[in-house]
Amino acid sequence: MGLSSWLGYATNSFHHSPAAIKIPLQDGTQEGLDDFCKNTTPPCRLNPLLFNGHLQTMWTAVKAEGPQMHYKRKIFQSEGTEFIGSFTVDFVVHERGEVDTTLPARTTYFTEKEFDNIGSSNSKPMLIALHGLSGGSYEIYLRQCLAPLVENQEWEACVVNSRGCAMSKVTSGVLYNARATWDVRQVVKWLRKTFPNRPLFGIGFSLGANIITNYIGEEGANCALKAAVVCSNPWDLDASSVALQRSWVGMEVYSKTMGTNMKALIERHAEEVSKYTAINLDALRKTKYLHEFDRVIQCPTWGYPTERAYYRDASSCDSLLSVRIPFLAINAEDDPIAANDAIPYGEFKQNPFTVLLTTSLGGHLSWFETGGQRWLAKPVAAFLNRMAFETDLKAVGALSSTAEHSNMGSAFDPMRRRLHVSAGQ
């Protein structure tokens, strides 16, 4: 590690196709997606006391308050016959609501009248966010990235909570996993109908990054999002799991913590889980690590023979090849959870719609600057703002249908999954 790293000066590196798509700008010019991303990325200057990925990642346990973001929640019933049950979406609002102790802080439910009148014909950009493993709309990393966009009310935003997360209810045997694209797909369809003039954008964090990448890949050229950012995506879940199991800290700190969090999530819904599924709660309580949790939960729930079969099937590294919207991924090379070995560098060089930004420091969903802010919020806001307000979005949307970009001449189908799950509901 060089002196610059010890001082918190991280190195930014960009990985992309040599034939990156040209982004049409409103002034009539064009800019390659690679340069577009480089020009919206500031230098990465992090807290010099948090000089490696472990220190950066472990600092997330220091619970700062973060931006004071307020939400109103709506419970959606799944429209799909394969994915029955309910899920919740938290919409960013700009007024304080009544305190509701059954929900996370600063979150209340829409009244029926409020939600009936939520539709709008305005053209403000809208961001759809997916949180990380066992998290929710309340997560500090998520609020720190959304706050610069919504604080001046130039953007609207909502967070799709994974089933059972963020104090939501489990109402069926359909839980969530790393391939759980069905709820975000329904939300996007509903948003297109309810806000027909709003351009939609996506952002995902960690497991949510894996899910939204899978969703964008499944949609391909028909994706309704204009652009997306994914942060700390674990990409190849099998490779990331193996990397965690190689070291004591990987097993006893990260894997154990994530496994404990997921066990606690299931325990909060033990009655419903017992009612709607055949999951063995006694076996669950004996698990210690995340891969053991997945063995007991994901395998019987979805029919995978092993947890590694689930990881291989649910990974988003191949989905990246089907992305047909401007797509920026941000990963730290020292991330101890989303391992550098799992990042699909070659796939980024193959797909002209995608750019990968890696930093030499940053940890997992961390990138802490001196003072506690996350550097991550800066490139996220800059990329999304420029996409929303400086590009010709109609022309950008047409790029995916051009002959040179439709399938890019490959006979390989990156979305051919081993476990059949209907993409279209």
Tens of pLDDT, residues 104-116: 999 999 999 999 9
Q: How sure is the predictor about 329, in pLDDT bands with cuts at 50, 70 and 90?
A: very high
pLDDT at 423: 52
Contact predicate 175/163, CB 8 Å = yes
Catalytic residues: 206, 335, 364
Q: Where are the domains of the chain?
A: 3-115+124-236+315-400, 237-314
pLDDT at 80: 83
Evaluate the CA torsion angle 323, 324, 330, 334 in order and state its sign: positive
Please determine, for residue 383, whether its predicted confidence score (pLDDT) is greater than 70.
yes
The mean predicted confidence, pLDDT, of the chain is: 94
Both tokens of 139, joined, read 């997560």
pLDDT at 425: 47
Please determine, for residue 409, whether its predicted confidence score (pLDDT) is greater than 80.
no
Largest separation between any pair of C-alpha atoms in the chain: 63
Contact predicate 353/21, CB 8 Å = yes
Tell me the three-class secondary structure of the chain, residue by residue. Answer: CCHHHHCCEECEEEEECCCCCEEEECCCCEEEHHHHHHHCCCCEECCCCCCCHHHHHHHHHCCCCCCCCEEEEEEEECCCCCCCCEEEEEEEECCCCCCCCCCCCCEEECCHHHHHCCCCCCCCCEEEEECCCCCCCCCHHHHHHHHHHHCCCCCEEEEEECCCCCCCCCCCCCCCCCCCCHHHHHHHHHHHHHCCCCCEEEEEECHHHHHHHHHHHHHHHHCCEEEEEEECCCCCHHHHHHHHCCCHHHHHHHHHHHHHHHHHHHHHCHHHHHHHCCCCHHHHHCCCCHHHHHHHHHHHHHCCCCHHHHHHHHCCCCHHHHCCCCEEEEEECCCCCCCHHHCCHHHHHHCCCEEEEEECCCCCCCCECCCCCECCHHHHHHHHHHHHHHECHHHHHHHHHCHHHHCCCCCCCCCCCCCCCCCCC
Residue bearing the bigger pLDDT, 405 or 178: 178
- CA dist 239 and 233 (Å) reads 12
Please determine, for residue 44, whether its predicted confidence score (pLDDT) is greater than 80.
yes
- CA dist 209 and 354 (Å) reads 14
- CA dist 232 and 247 (Å) reads 20
Q: Mean per-residue pLDDT for 212-217?
A: 98
Q: What is the pLDDT of residues 164-177, one digit of tens each?
A: 999 999 999 999 99
pTM above the 0.85 mark? Answer: yes
- CA dist 94 and 72 (Å) reads 10
Q: Mean per-residue pLDDT for 3-20?
A: 87
Q: Mean per-residue pLDDT for 118-122?
A: 95
Residue bearing the bigger pLDDT, 4 or 11: 11
Please determine, for residue 182, whether its predicted confidence score (pLDDT) is greater than 60.
yes
pLDDT at 411: 78
- CA dist 170 and 211 (Å) reads 19
Distances (CA, A) of 349 to 163, 220, 355, 366, 387: 34, 18, 8, 26, 21
Q: What is the pLDDT of residues 58-94, one digit of tens each?
A: 999 887 789 999 999 999 999 988 899 999 999 999 9
347 — alpha (psi -120 to 50), left (phi > 0) or beta? alpha
Please state whether beta strands 70-77 and 86-93 pair in parallel, antiparallel, or not at all (unpaired).
Answer: antiparallel
Query: Rounded to the nearest 10 degrees, how much is the dihedral formed by the CA atoms of 244, 250, 251, 257?
Result: -110
Contact predicate 90/159, CB 8 Å = yes
Both tokens of 306, joined, read 């092993």
Please determine, for residue 151, whether its predicted confidence score (pLDDT) is greater than 50.
yes
CATH of region 3-115+124-236+315-400, choose from 3.90.1150.10, 3.40.640.10, 3.40.50.1820, 3.40.50.720: 3.40.50.1820
Question: What percent of the chain has a predicted confidence (pLDDT) above 70?
Answer: 96
Q: Which residue has the tokens 């930004």?
A: 357
Please determine, for residue 419, whether its predicted confidence score (pLDDT) is greater than 90.
no
Q: How sure is the predictor about 96, in pLDDT bands with cuts at 50, 70 and 90?
A: confident
